[in-house]
Structure 1
Amino acid sequence: MIDLLIAGGGPAGLATAIHGALGGLEVVVAEPRPTPIDKACGEGLMPGAVRRLRELGVPVEGHPFHGIRYVDGVNGRHAEGLFRCGPGLGARRTALQSALAGRAAALGVRVVPRRVDGVVQDGDRVHAAGLTARYLVAADGLHSPVRRGLDLAAPPVPGRPARYGLRRHYDLAPWSRLVEVHWADRCEAYVTPLAPGRIGVALLTGEHAPFDVQLARFPLLAERLAGAAGTPVRGAGPLRQGARVRVAGRVLFVGDAAGYVDALTGEGLTLAVTAAGELVRCVREGRPQAYERAWRELSRSYRTLTASLLWARHRPPLARRIVPLAARLPRVFTGAVNLLA
């Protein structure tokens, strides 16, 4: 019998599949889309994610970066926090997904072109997508159909506006060895080095407006990008998605499907790959319910810091102080950067 049936062949699902295969489990991934799968994201792997991917034997090509720089999008004032534990990696989403898929295939993980929607479970097995397994892992993304089908989505938080992500690549040489986060009213722009001649620009915003309209809020950045060839824009959102639990009988959730706060701190992939390992460990030990507590402990720093920044971001007088305060308190800012790194 299949030990783990994984719904979703993105990074979280494939990382779970690799952990499971390395642990001696029979793993099948259900994913209707062909590889590679693209998605709007910042495409920056923090040092913790780079290290964990290396431990899994996943070779990812990309461009190293050595810290985070917060930039005032209008006057250019900035604060820098350098990593103490090695570089991060700017990597195309398609390159990351291809590398994970290649490693999973080398370990004998089978991928079937099916979509998981209806789920039926009993005392010792789960039935979905025409297959039967001991456990189902829902790694089916931000708007998880499995989470919705089991009625496990948490209600929206009152008074918190929805946020969205937009991403475009530019044929432009990186001008910094850091990921830059430019701050403006109601919007942030992430600039990630991806290759010697390419950068990615991801906008996080609470307003519905075209990419170029949002980019104009960052005059210094817009001036740098002027004239550079850009790719079509990809979007994602609303970003905040709550899940009431991470374990529902024999169904376990990982990655964005397990609940997502915001992309503000860039820790999502690190959490997904790390949580995948904890999920497999709990299943192998015969204690799947223990994964709920493990996930909460793993994600605590991400949830706390991201929620705190969002709280300040939604209060304009405080939001305008984020970059100046980071510049005045470099040790605190560097400490926060390395907590997430």
Structure 2
Amino acid sequence: MPGPEQTAEESAAEDGAAEQGTAEQGAPEESADVIVVGAGPAGSTAAAHLARTGLDVLLLEKSAFPREKVCGDGLTPRAVKQLTDLGIDVSEEAGWLHNRGLRLVTGRRSFEFEWPELSAFPGYGLVRRRADFDELLARKAASYGARLVERANVAGPLVDERTGRITGVTAKLGEERRPAVYRAPIVVAADGNSTRLSVAMKRYRRTDRAMGVAYRTYFTTPRHQDRYLEAWLDLRDPDDPAGRLLPGYAWVFGMGDGTANVGLGVLDTAGTDVDWRELLRRWCEDLPPAYGYTPDGVTEPIRGAALPMGLNRQPHYADGLLLVGDAGGTVSPGTGEGIAYAMESGRYAAEAIVQALARRTDRSRELALRAYPQTLRSAYAGYFALGRLAADLLGRPRLLGAAGSAGLGSPALLKVAFRLMVNLTEPHAKDSLDRLLHLVGRVAPGR
């Protein structure tokens, strides 16, 4: 089985963290119980839950809010649950657009599936721009007592040469890049897909796990208040004479503000010869003119990002460092959904840290921290294994073409696809399909 390998990108990131293990002489120092590097959904969620318990938390963000992130801006009920657990007002009066479910479009047919009514999750989803969303989460963490430091570009870890444990980080502050030192016995890496901190601690990406790419833009449109998230499943390569079906989908999410987020997400198994920006432009050209997705309606340039999937960076805990969100590869391999799992991983990490810092001995604290990767595996290994299997199958053009022609128009198969995509099941649901998918997700062999 292929294991973690250092990629060229990670080697460059490690070289960029040359200050690892050293604190610049005369640099001001601060200490905390926990340092969280990155104030995205994972980091801010972790910081909020930690600060709520009374711990001293430093939340370091390299940018200044508001800041852009490539995302579809759509939130499933899994994410809604995390938001409400944090005490965030998700009402429409507070600026959120609610949606009823997911519309799957294939060919000339569309099928609408409503979010299931379950005891564990609310029966609605949300839409909100990431620039606004991320700042709201970071400010919520700060309201609970986390010390948010913006424009804090973490340069590298401080490491105890005797034990190999991380003991803090060095950073450059503001536009002047003033040196600073932050110390804590536990550090959370929430610094995204590139995760320079994890790489500097020799946590490399598993190359046997799929990666994805996502590209999106915004259009003005009369459909901006659509109450369904929309996924177009038959995404095809326009330059292929046979109309090769690509392993991914395009989306249209109304924002409720006169615009829609329009994008595509594709597995990297599709090959590197595809110009994703051009593919998105050409896909939009084929949509009905009444939708308004024309060059005249574009409000922002097309932006893209990598999607680290299937827990592809490990170990998720070692030597005082926990990996959450994109830094730990928590994006779903089956759908590309990342926000809900990022927030959940941040919460799981916080719970492990709270337990650890309440222990009296080093050994007991270490045992509590080691529970975090076990919690991740218990929560996601089975479901992500199913997603990886789907990713592997979708990466085979002939099989993908056969599956597409056989199943994309079948309502029964699309219903199963919807339930698998959204991962909203529980063992005691009324729906037998929900119960079956919950069981399969739990027993599927994860690794």
User: In the alignment, what sits opposite 1:28?
Assistant: 58
Amino acid at match of 2:113: G
SS in 1 for 2:298: coil
Would you say 1:108 and 2:145 are equivalent positions? yes
Going from structure 1 to structure 2, the CA distance change for 1:340 and 1:117 (only over 3 Å counts) comes to farther
Corresponding position of 2:219: 170
Counterpart AA for 1:83: W
Equivalent residue for 1:95, pick from 110, 116, 132:
132
Aligned: 1:53 with 2:83: yes
Which string of whole-angstrom CA distances, capped at 9 and with x for unpartnered residues, describes residues 214-259 of structure 1? 3424664364323533311111126458212100110001000012
User: Shift in Å at residue 78 of structure 1?
Assistant: 3.3
**Other structure's SS at 2:375 match:** helix
Partner of 2:317: 247
- Work out the percentage of aligned pairs sharing the same amino acid: 26
**1:16 maps to which residue?**
46
Note the alpha carbon deviations across 1:68-96, whole angstroms, 9 max, x for none: 22222xx2233432101311111100111
For 1:216, the equivalent position in structure 2 comes to 282
CA distance in 2, matches of 1:82, 1:143: 35
AA aligned opposite 2:208: V
* Counterpart Cα distance in 1 of 2:410 and 2:97: 26
Aligned residue number for residue 296 of structure 1: 377
User: What's the counterpart of residue 256 of structure 1?
Assistant: 326
Larger radius of gyration: 2
- Which residue does the alignment assign to 2:188? 137
Call closer, same or farther: CA 1:236–1:302 in 2, change over 3 Å: farther
Q: Which residue of 2 aligns with 1:270?
A: 340
CA contact (8 A) 1:168 1:200 kept: yes
Task: Indicate whether 1:181 and 2:262 are aligned.
Answer: no
Closer, same or farther in 2 for the Cα pair 1:141/1:222, shift >3 Å?
farther
1:118 to 156, 160, 163: 156
Offset of residue 331 of structure 1: 4.5
| 1:301–1:340 CA contact under 8 A, matched in 2 | no
Of residues 123-132 and 94-103 in structure 1, the stretch that sits farther from structure 2 once superposed is 123-132
Residue 334 (structure 1) shift: 4.5
| Counterpart position of 2:262 | 201
Matched, 1:283 2:353: yes
Q: Is the 8 A contact 2:334 2:384 kept in 1?
A: no
Secondary structure of the corresponding residue to residue 329 of structure 1: helix
Say if 1:142 and 1:260, in contact at 8 Å, map to a contact too: no
TM, length-normalised to structure 1: 0.88
Q: Is the 8 A contact 2:330 2:341 kept in 1?
A: no
Write the distance in 2 (CA, Å) between the matches of 1:65 and 1:301.
28
Are 1:324 and 2:408 counterparts?
yes
Query: Which amino acid in the other structure matches residue 292 of structure 1?
Result: P
Aligned mates of 1:330, 1:156 — CA distance in 2: 30
One-letter amino acid matched to 1:231 = E
Number of aligned positions between the proteins: 337
Measure the CA separation in 1 of the matches of 2:307 and 2:353.
Answer: 31
Name the aligned partner's letter for residue 237 of structure 1.
A
Distance change (3 Å), C-alpha of 1:326 and 1:10: farther
Counterparts of 2:148 and 2:189, CA distance in 1: 15
Residue 230 of structure 2 aligns to a residue whose secondary structure is strand
* Aligned partner of residue 270 in structure 1, secondary structure: helix
| Offset, 1:330 | 5.1
Q: How far apart are residue 316 of structure 1 and its match?
A: 2.9
Q: Deviations over 1:190-225 (max 9, x none)?
A: 111211522101212345415243342466436432
Equivalent pair of 1:182/1:188 in contact (CA under 8 Å): yes
- Displacement of 1:325: 6.0
Structure 1 residues 264, 155: closer, same or farther in 2, change over 3 A? closer
**Residue type at the aligned position of 1:310:** A
What amino acid does structure 2 have at the position aligned with 1:168?
T
Cα 1:203–1:338 shift into 2, 3 Å: closer
- 1:127: how far off? 2.1
Residues 4, 314 of structure 1: alpha-carbon distance in 2 compared, 3 angstrom cutoff: same
Alignment RMSD (CA, Å):
2.6
Question: Does the residue aligned with 2:88 lie in a helix, a strand or coil?
Answer: coil
CA distance in 1: counterparts of 2:221 and 2:308, whole angstroms:
28
Residues 302/229 of structure 1: CA separation in 2 closer, same or farther (3 Å cut): same
Report the 3-state secondary structure (helix = DSSP H, G, I; strand = E; otherwise coil) of the residue aligned with 2:381. helix
Q: Equivalents in 2 of 1:255, 1:296: separation in Å?
A: 14
Distance in 2 separating the partners of 1:221 and 1:107:
45
Question: Within 2, Cα distance between the matches of 1:44 and 1:238?
Answer: 16
Whole-Å separation in 2 of the counterparts to 1:218 and 1:316: 23
Q: TM-score under structure 2 normalisation? A: 0.69
Cα distance 1:135–1:49, how it changes in 2: closer, same or farther (>3 A)?
same
Q: Which runs of no fewer than 5 residues in structure 2 stay unpaired?
A: 1-30, 118-122, 171-180, 236-244, 357-367, 426-447
Question: Which secondary structure does the structure 2 equivalent of 1:59 belong to?
Answer: coil
8 Å Cα contact 1:80-1:330 kept in structure 2: no
Query: After alignment, is 140-149 or 58-67 more displaced?
Result: 58-67
SS in 1 for 2:322: strand
Instruction: Give the AA of the match of 1:91.
Output: R
Which letter does structure 1 place at the counterpart of 2:423? L
Q: Is the 8 A contact 2:82 2:344 kept in 1?
A: yes
Distance of 1:28 and 1:48 partners within structure 2: 27
Aligned residue identity for 1:247: Y
CA spacing shift, 1:173–1:87, aligned 2, 3 Å: farther
Check 1:35–1:263 CA distance in 2 against 1; reply closer, same or farther (3 A cut): farther
Give, in whole Å, the separation in 2 of the partners of 1:178 and 1:212: 26
The superposition leaves residues 264-290 of structure 1 with CA deviations (integer Å, 9 ceiling, x where unpaired) of 524321111112121111111111111
- Does residue 117 of structure 2 align to residue 68 of structure 1? no
